[in-house]
Amino acid sequence: MRYRRFMLGFFLVSVLFFLMCYSSLEHDNKDPDMEYILENFEDYNNTWISFGGKVEALDESGQEITVRLSEPPYLSINVGTEGLKENPQDGDIVEVLGILDGKNHVTAEEMLISEQWKHDLIYVRSIPAIPFALYIFFRRWKFNRKTFRFERRVRDA
């Protein structure tokens, strides 16, 4: 009986391990990130991709922008914006949907633009929540200076 439990546990852990290995190996094929796409450019040439980032530079004609990815490894990608109604400015946060047509170039079909100050406004809007969260926390917990840790208040224990 004891060995059956051990064998069953070993079998279940082995199955879990092999499922994790399979998921890890197949992840790049099913849900690649931008680093993998740009490293394996030949496989993804002329395919639809989407990514987000911050506009770093604009060219003089307004037909080309450079976008720094918002996810690691923070690569820069050139985006062609011909025929788009939107005109991004330097520092704007953009979401790009387009066709990868060069080693480091995307032709944008659609682009969502959020100005930098509007993007940062979410942090300002969350400031009123900080006192409320601190009030809720200190209502249940108190700091014990002798043991140098937080303890539950006696009425809540």
Mean pLDDT of the chain: 89
Tell the residue number behind the tokens 């079998």, with chain if given.
11
List pLDDT tens digits, range 98-156: 999 988 899 999 999 988 888 788 888 889 999 999 999 999 999 999 999 999 998 75
In one-letter notation, the amino acid at residue 117 is W
**What's the confidence (pLDDT) of residue 156?**
57
Q: What is the token pair recorded at 138?
A: 């200190």
33 or 107: which carries more pLDDT confidence?
107
pTM greater than the 0.75 cutoff: no
Q: Which of 8-22, 66-80, 108-122 has the highest mean pLDDT?
A: 8-22
Q: What is the token pair recorded at 72?
A: 């690691």
Residues 66/112/97/53 CA torsion (nearest 10 deg): 40
In one-letter notation, the amino acid at residue 110 is E
Cis peptide before 88 (omega within 30 of 0): no
Which helix or strand (DSSP H or E) is residue 141 part of? strand 141-144
CB 10 within 8 A of CB 16: no
Cα angle at 83 between 80 and 87, to 5 degrees?
A: 75
Between CA 38 and CA 56 the distance in angstroms is: 19
- What are the domain boundaries of the chain? 1-31, 34-116, 126-156
In one-letter notation, the amino acid at residue 13 is V
DSSP alpha helix (H) spans, the chain: 2-30, 34-39, 41-44, 116-125, 129-140
For range 27-36, the mean pLDDT: 81
* Topology adopted by domain 34-116: OB fold (Dihydrolipoamide Acetyltransferase, E2P) (2.40.50)
Between CA 23 and CA 4 the distance in angstroms is: 28
